[in-house]
Copies of this chain bind each other. A is one copy, B any other.
Amino acid sequence: MNDIKQFLRSNALRPTKQRIVIAGYLFDGTDKHVTAESLSTELAKRKHIISLATIYNTLHDFYENGLLKKLTLSADRVYFDTNTNDHHHFYSEKEQFLIDINKNIKVNGLPKTPKNKKINKIEVIVHLDK
């Protein structure tokens, strides 16, 4: 609890009740993939009712501070990943199935980066099913 407060403060985030609850859930040591909706549902199960607006705000605040990765998996919702290490994913849209690929994947044969641009990140999505 106090460590969560410290954790939030050290990321320039005021430790409000809601952020403490959300951070407590997200950063409990196990990697998680969440959407605003799924997070809301999980917290509700634990009797923590937090408005969707706040959930969106908080996910973005955490993302902006590098505490979450944002995943581009499908066009209909945004996923956030508590594993902020360099890694990739298996994804099944049909089954909402998503798992990390933590093994060292190498992408070889990339052409030159376009002029005056720099690479922000390389995202490898292995789509399953069809």
Contacts and interface: CB of A to CB of B under 8 A. Distances in A.
B114 A110 contact: no
Label chain A's interface by main secondary structure: strand
A53 interface: no
B120 A130 contact: yes
A60 to B, nearest CB: 13
A125 interface: yes
A127 interface: yes
A86 interface: no
Contact of A103 (B109, B123, B129): B109
Nearest to A111: B103
A2 to B, nearest CB: 33
A119 interface: yes
Contacts of A122: 124-127
